[in-house]
Every structure is written in structure tokens, then in C-alpha cells.
Structure 1
Amino acid sequence: MRTLCAVVLVFEAIVIGLMIPIAINLEGMDPALAGGVWGGIAIAALVLSGLQKYTWAHYAGWALQAAFLFSSFLVAGTPLVPIVFVSLWVTGVILGRKVDVQKAAHAAYAEATEGSESSAPGETAGATGGARSA
């Protein structure tokens, strides 16, 4: 799950960074304000993508999704972009959890079959140094 979420955050950081010239050119927003708002969110997305192994960073990713969604209302016509990324984030969480469950089941199965293969029936180590008993 965390890998999918990290990938979404990296691509989201690129798109968030592209919101800066859109806000400046379309809305006439001050470049310092646009850079501060979306530049800060983009940097936070990059940092959080690298920290997704921590639970708190995953929850911070949810907060970043909300921040991107609410900040998009400052520029007309752009709220669709964060809606797409929030959808990708939710899909990544759902599919990632399914993959995590399947990985855990596979690891448990592999561990169970590995343990049964090491003690094959009919083979015992006898007192004479490992001779086979019939």
C-alpha cells in the first residue's frame, strides 16, 4: 500500500508544481503567494513520498490530499485535478491493502510449506549418526 501511495505522491508533486504558473497566468495571483502555497504542498508531497514507511506519514498524506483539494479552489477550473489525485490516492490505499493481505497469505503459506519439507516422513536421525530407519 505504501509503495502505491508514494508513487501517487511523486506524480502529484509534479502536477502541484505546475499549478504555480497556472495560478499566476490565469488568475493573476502574486507569484510569491502561488509559489508559497503550491510550492510548499509540492515539497511536502515529495518529502512524504519518501517517508511512507511510517504510519504518521501515511496519515499526513491524507492531510496533504485535503490541502491540495482546498487550495485548488483559489484558481478557477482546477478543482478537477486534485479530485483525480484523491481518487488515485484512495485507489492506491484500497488496492495496496489487498496486495498486502495477499503478500501476508503467501508468506504464511511459504513458511508453512518450508517447515513441512524440512522434516520428510520416514527420515529420522538415529543414535548411530543419522542412519535411515525403515
Structure 2
Amino acid sequence: MAKLTKAQREWKPNTPKKLRSTKMMFASVVLMLEAFVAMFLGLALFGVNGKNPIYLIAAGVLAVLLILACAVVRKTWGIAVGWILQLVLIACGFWEYSMFIVGVLFSIAWWYALTGGAKIDRENVNRAKVQAKWDAEHPEEHPESSTK
């Protein structure tokens, strides 16, 4: 038998499901995609610029920083770290000019992940409140709460 997680052990019937932040999921996806782009940038610069391993190391460090930023994006200062990493990605354009465009496009995606995700989170919280109010006013309409 598989070992249960803490959430599985603590679950009880009619326990409301905790809402997951769409903003954080969107932001993490953007950061992960940027980590792949950073690695591909390092590989391209490595191949084009005479097999200099500095490009691979720098790209690897940037990719690791982008991945680690996914872990702290939930904190208020984590968003600032994400913005700093957006600037670093844009600054990579000094080594490969196309990164100016790619970096700006990813910065727009980062901005949208934060603003659009926050809007969806607010809508989900509001929807959950309305649903909880309706459930409280109509207990007879829930088949799982009726006894047989």
C-alpha cells in the first residue's frame, strides 16, 4: 500500500479544497521556460564563439537561478527577484542581439502572468465565497450531505 501524503492523511469529508494560485503557477511556468531559453542561449553562444565554456557556465547559473526563483515567487520579494531575472535575460542581448527581443517578450509574459494570474485568483476567491454562501443557504440540494 502506498504511503499517504500529509494532505491525504488530514483530509476529512466536506473539507473545502484549498485554492491554488494561478498567478504563482503562471509565473513559475514563465520562469521555467526562461530557464530552457537560457540553456539554449548558452549552447548557441558556446558553439558560435569558439567553444568557450564560460558561456555554458553562465547560462547554467542563469538557468538555475530562474528555476530557484520558482520556489520563492510566492514571497513578496520573490516577484522582485523575477523582475531582476527578466532584466538579466534582456541584458543577454549584449551577447546575442536576438535576446533583446526574446527578453522583452518574456518580460511581457512575466507581467501578464502576474497581472492576469492575480485577476483569475481574485475571481476564484469570489466564486468560492459565492458558492459557499449558496451551499449554506441550500443544504438540501447536496446529495453528499444527505443521509440514507
Q: TM-score when scaled to structure 1?
A: 0.76
User: Displacement of 1:28 after TM fit?
Assistant: 4.2
| Percent of pairs with identical residues | 20
Whether 1:30 and 2:52 are equivalent positions in the alignment is yes
Q: Which has the larger radius of gyration?
A: 1
Change (3 A) 1:53 1:8: same
Q: How does 1:87-126 map to 2 (within 5 A)?
A: 87-118=108-139
| CA distance in 1: counterparts of 2:50 and 2:107, whole angstroms | 26
| CA distance in 2: counterparts of 1:66 and 1:76, whole angstroms | 14
Whether 1:41 and 2:41 are equivalent positions in the alignment is no
Change (3 A) 1:118 1:76: closer
Report the equivalent of 2:98: 77
Change (3 A) 1:67 1:73: same
User: Displacement of 1:12 after TM fit?
Assistant: 1.0
| CA distance in 2: counterparts of 1:17 and 1:116, whole angstroms | 54
User: Displacement of 1:72 after TM fit?
Assistant: 2.4
Per-residue CA distance 1:76-102 (angstroms, 9 max, x = gap)? 333222122112111211210110111
User: What runs of 5+ residues in structure 2 fail to find an aligned partner?
Assistant: 1-22, 141-148
| CA distance in 2: counterparts of 1:29 and 1:77, whole angstroms | 20
| CA distance in 1: counterparts of 2:98 and 2:66, whole angstroms | 22
